[in-house]
Amino acid sequence: MIMTETQLIKMVDEFKKYNITIRHNGLSIVSINDHPATLNAAKYMPDQMVRVICQFMQTQIIAEMWRA
């Protein structure tokens, strides 16, 4: 089952609980915590999209640790 815009909106709200801000235009995710992103949520199942966003955040956290 591919993701719908309704599911993406719900996911965005869930990530807010963890201080992760996701901006999207329809099913296209354009930024995650003010970092540019280009993700088409329609190509993922909801659980896959959660994993992709978490991996994105993990990569950003590691990069910021090495910059410090």
Reported as a single tens digit per residue, the pLDDT across 39-61 is 999 999 999 999 999 999 999 99
Collapsing DSSP to helix, strand or coil, 42 comes out as helix
- The count of structural domains within the chain is 1
Give tens-digit pLDDT for 2-41: 899 999 999 999 999 999 999 999 999 999 999 999 999 9
Other C-beta atoms closer than 10 Å to the C-beta of 1 total 7
Q: Which two tokens stand for residue 64?
A: 């910021």
Burial zone of 51 (CB within 10 Å; 0-12 exposed, 13-18 middle, 19+ buried): exposed
Query: Which H or E run includes 1?
Result: none
Which domain, by its residues, includes 23?
5-67
Which alpha helices (H) appear in 1-68, and where do they start and end? 5-16, 46-67
pLDDT for 58: 96
